[in-house]
Structure 1
Amino acid sequence: MMDLLARQTRSDIEDFLYREADLLDTWDLVTWRQLFTAECLYVVPNLALPSDAPVESTLHLVVDDGHHLTERVKRLGKKTAHAEYPRSRGRRLISNVMIVERGDQYLRAQCNFVTYRTSQQTTDTYFGQHQYRFVVDGGVMKIQEKRTILDIGSLRPQGRLSIIV
């Protein structure tokens, strides 16, 4: 199993991240959720705090464990998700993919991103860095943790973060 992570090249990670972006752009959130382990963590830190601030003791914009991420996917798929009905349209651009650390049972990677989101005749731009921790789960490489560091000064003029960045 660990050999799977040891064999991963930057190009392999890049392909994985392109697929993740495509699943989000095409609103295939159920398949996107399957890229994560059951006990994953998805974090978007508060813009005013350090990006590595602990989730246990600081306020974050998003802190979803596996259960909450599954519930978020279900909620965004319903018509009752008013902020996303009708669904926003988005494009995610990924660049500067790097493998930053290899452990015995994990691999860390990061990339820069720009997400364009159009909803109700308004286009918002989010940009920053994604940081990933990959593990092997059931013989497949999956995301154990994803941390999205937004480099925007504030959520204004966007004002909300109803999408999965």
Structure 2
Amino acid sequence: MEPTHVVVDSPVGPLTLVAMDGALSGLYMVNQRHRPPQETFGTPGNPDAEPFAAAAEQLAAYFAGDLTDFDLPLALRGTPFQGRVWAALREIPYGETTTYGELAVELGKPSASRAVGLANGKNPVGVIVPCHRVVGSTGSLTGYGGGLDRKRYLLDFERKTRTADQVLF
């Protein structure tokens, strides 16, 4: 089956959602590094069809501060190592960060922080698989396919939302 795509608005700009066989296979920002050529996105899809309707609904809830974990069918294509990195990214709690080195240790590859960074950068569904939650060893914002301004926005947004949801007793 040929891929289809739709574009949805978000606070970080238009997001191109790509689907293959009823599962989300891409979420790309404008001017994103490693963004595939537009012609690989297939034909324009129906925004009311799945998985686009669910993805748009969940993205809207995320950006409203009402959703912290996405539950969408994904069809991610990458190497086995990239798949392990992308799965580990989904385990980083909302509003928190980890480093490339910590992620490498968690994956049992303590000397592979650079490889983790490369796999992180090739994540085809940013925001949904939260690669923005990975920072440099000093906590600095380093590398983000969507640009550092978007990474800063997403991290600040999650921290503020998480803090606002905490009740102090």
Q: Which TM bucket (shorter chain)? A: under 0.3
User: Going by fraction, where is helix more abundant, 1 or 2?
Assistant: 2
Q: TM-score, normalised by structure 2?
A: 0.25
User: Going by fraction, where is strand more abundant, 1 or 2?
Assistant: 1
Q: Higher relative CO (CA 8 A, sep ≥ 6), structure 1 or 2?
A: 1
Q: TM-score, normalised by structure 1?
A: 0.25
